[in-house]
Amino acid sequence: MQSLRNLALAGATALALAPAAARSADLPMPPPMFRAPIVEDYGAWYLRGDIGITNQHVKKLDSPAPGFDTTTVLVQGFDSAGLFGAGIGYKFNNWFRFDVTGEYRAGARFSELDNFPCPSCPTGFGVDRYEATKSEWLFLANAYLDLGTWHSVTPFVGAGIGFDHLTIGNFTDTNIVNTAIGFSTNNSKWNFAWALHAGLAYQVTPNFTVELAYRYVNLGNGSTKDMIGYDFSNATFNPILFKHVDSQDIKLGVRWMFADTFFPEPPLVRKY
């Protein structure tokens, strides 16, 4: 009998609570909370510095002086010289970056030995020895493609355009047979310049990268001033022209990124 009373009481309680539960089900639910989307900024500024060595070449020497085109080159070349550069750039993502660089290319000693027909000379020909130094300031805007990363090593290629300020200094022309000597004072000129890059970059830390690179750079033309004899004779319009100067450089560079910027890694390419 007691159990029947308990069952009846439980049923009455359930019936009393049912309308309240129904009313609570009809109440509006609060809107779900969504996290604001995170906007990734993959770009970062960096500073760079470079040192290296030059391997320079000139296609030929030329001059408006009469008879210069009859010379035959016997030996010609530049000594190697150092280069020192710095720049600032921006890395847009994992595969593209851009920088602007300024560079001093130290004086490289130039020498050439040639001969030319000389009926009045005892041997029937004359021999000239040219000596000079060449240096320049080089300014380039460069764009690079990074070609993927393996074990923190990233091969890259690039190209640049800009200007150089090329100086020919201490030029002397010694005629060995006739013991005649001419000289020119230092002369500088601005040229359009362009370059091609290829190399390997090693990421030491997220901010610090080391590069070993090859660069071909076309520096344009150089020129002396008018050639003058040591007795100050023959001061006519007869400069020596350095036609088509270029260089194949080996460079060691470093890059320092300003911020710890996250760069998403493409799948199946980057390995550590």
Looking at residue 211, its pLDDT comes to 98
Predicted pLDDT at 91: 95
pLDDT of residue 263: 52
Q: Is residue 87 part of a domain?
A: yes
Contact 248/215 with Cβ under 8 angstroms? Answer: yes
* pLDDT reported for residue 63: 87
Is residue 2 included in any domain, yes or no? Answer: no
Please tell me the predicted confidence (pLDDT) of residue 33: 57
For 40, the token pair is 């990734």
Q: What is the pLDDT of residue 69?
A: 75
Gap between the Cα atoms of 246 and 251, Å rounded: 16
pLDDT at 15: 47
Residue 229, both tokens? 């004899």
In a domain, 140, yes or no: yes
Backbone CA torsion sign across 86, 81, 138, 172: positive
In a domain, 38, yes or no: no
Residue 192 CB-density burial (10 A; 0-12 exposed, 13-18 middle, 19+ buried): exposed
pLDDT of 212 reads 98
Q: Is residue 77 domain-resident?
A: yes
Q: What is the CATH number of the domain that holds 179?
A: 2.40.160.20
CB 43 within 8 A of CB 244: no
The residue range of the domain holding 93 is 44-257
Query: Would residue 167 count as lying in a domain?
Result: yes
Quote the pLDDT of residue 156. 98
| The pLDDT value given to residue 22 | 45
203 vs 81: CA distance, rounded Å? 28
Total structural domains within the chain = 1
Q: What is the pLDDT of residue 40?
A: 47
Residue 3 belongs to some domain of the structure: no
Cα 114 to Cα 222: distance, rounded to the nearest angstrom? 19
End-to-end CA distance of the chain: 79
In a domain, 4, yes or no: no
> How would you write the pLDDT of the chain (272 residues) with one tens digit per residue?
455 455 444 455 544 544 544 444 454 556 655 554 544 456 899 999 999 999 999 999 998 877 777 788 889 999 999 999 999 999 999 899 999 999 999 999 999 998 888 777 777 777 889 999 999 999 999 999 999 999 999 999 999 999 999 999 999 988 777 667 888 989 999 999 999 999 999 999 999 999 999 999 999 999 999 888 777 666 566 899 999 999 999 999 999 999 765 555 554 454 54
